[in-house]
């Protein structure tokens, strides 16, 4: 690979969208402010970048300049803010939800999700519980993936074929369980553009600190930005896999031990 030539399609990964009324009040580094999100959608429009879906990328037929938009964890702000903005800009996105959270606390309920589907949005599984799948045995992974897919298909009357693994933790046994459970595409959190025609798609996070300038570099596949993000991800990968086994509380993630 030479600088200036990164292949693939960026899949942007969002978490909470923070409303104007809570500006300055959120210290959640994953929470993107409403106005920043709007500026990002406007920039995609200005740059004439087509918004596609993870399934389109896996199928490999795409316009020259495209991105996909994804949202994790199923927050109600996805309905209240993201859905409204996306509809206004006439673009779609995929929402990965944990079916055990739907209708509780700060999360989407089924009525909101159904309205989003009718409005052209898509849904995928983020497992039934928000748990590190690599710490579960194969039967429990399959159960997490099967229950979640069944519930989503039942409530939304829509085929669910894409899984995003919680916290980005993935290995071969998780992938095998996904294929066996009827998923066709798995999204991870390796910060790199997704490769056309692949079944395992990397995604790059959009965070509170992501400036519009950096966002532009992400969607235009600036090699320096991706190499920096990938370098940081690689440096943290081994400690992350060690800590998730030995000291998961340090990472603040939920593992098999917590759920027994």
- Residues in contact with Zn ion by CB under 5 A are 72-73, 166
Q: Give me 111's structure tokens.
A: 């009525």
Q: How far is the CB of 258 from Zn ion (least distance, A)?
A: 15
The smaller minimum CB distance to Zn ion, of residues 12 and 49, is found at: 12
3-state secondary structure of 254: coil
Q: How far is the CB of 132 from Zn ion (least distance, A)?
A: 10
Closest-by-Cβ residue to Zn ion is 72
Q: How far is the CB of 197 from Zn ion (least distance, A)?
A: 26
The smaller minimum CB distance to Zn ion, of residues 126 and 221, is found at: 126
Torsion of CA 205, 46, 55, 139, to 10 degrees: 20
Q: How far is the CB of 13 from Zn ion (least distance, A)?
A: 9
The CA angle 200-205-211, to the nearest 5 degrees, is 150
The smaller minimum CB distance to Zn ion, of residues 66 and 189, is found at: 189
The smaller minimum CB distance to Zn ion, of residues 53 and 189, is found at: 189
Secondary structure percentages of the chain, helix, strand, coil, to 5: 45, 15, 40
What are the helix (H) ranges across the chain? 34-46, 54-59, 76-77, 84-88, 110-118, 138-156, 172-180, 212-219, 223-246, 248-251, 256-259
User: Which residues, 6 or more positions from 88, have their beta carbon under 8 angstroms from its beta carbon?
Assistant: none
Q: How far is the CB of 109 from Zn ion (least distance, A)?
A: 18
The CA angle 15-226-89, to the nearest 5 degrees, is 45
Q: How far is the CB of 47 from Zn ion (least distance, A)?
A: 28
Sign of the Cα torsion 79, 149, 248, 14 reads negative
The smaller minimum CB distance to Zn ion, of residues 72 and 144, is found at: 72
The smaller minimum CB distance to Zn ion, of residues 49 and 187, is found at: 187
């Amino acid at each position: 690979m030479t600088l200036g030539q990164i292949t693939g399609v960026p899949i942007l990964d969002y978490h909470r969208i923070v409303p104007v009324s809570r500006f300055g009040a959120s210290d959640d580094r994953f929470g993107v402010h409403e106005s920043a999100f709007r500026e990002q959608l406007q920039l995609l429009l200005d740059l004439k970048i087509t918004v596609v879906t993870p399934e389109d990328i896996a199928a490999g037929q795409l316009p020259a300049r495209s991105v996909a938009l994804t949202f994790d964890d199923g927050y109600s702000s996805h309905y209240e803010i993201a859905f409204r903005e996306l509809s206004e800009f006439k673009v779609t996105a995929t929402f990965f939800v944990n079916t055990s959270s739907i209708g509780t606390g700060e999360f989407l309920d089924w009525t909101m999700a159904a309205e989003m589907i009718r409005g052209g949005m898509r849904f995928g599984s983020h497992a039934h519980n928000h748990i590190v799948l690599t710490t579960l045995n194969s039967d429990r992974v399959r159960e997490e993936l099967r229950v979640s897919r069944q519930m989503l298909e039942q409530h939304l009357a829509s085929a669910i074929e894409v899984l995003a693994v919680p916290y980005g933790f993935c290995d071969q046994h998780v992938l095998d369980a996904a294929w066996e459970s009827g998923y066709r595409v798995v999204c991870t959190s390796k910060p790199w553009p997704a490769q056309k025609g692949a079944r395992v798609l990397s995604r790059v996070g959009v965070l509170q600190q992501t400036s519009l300038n950096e966002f532009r570099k992400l969607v235009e596949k600036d090699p320096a930005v991706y190499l920096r993000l990938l370098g940081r991800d690689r440096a943290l990968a081994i400690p992350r896999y060690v800590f998730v086994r030995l000291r998961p509380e340090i990472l603040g993630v939920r593992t098999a031990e917590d759920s027994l």
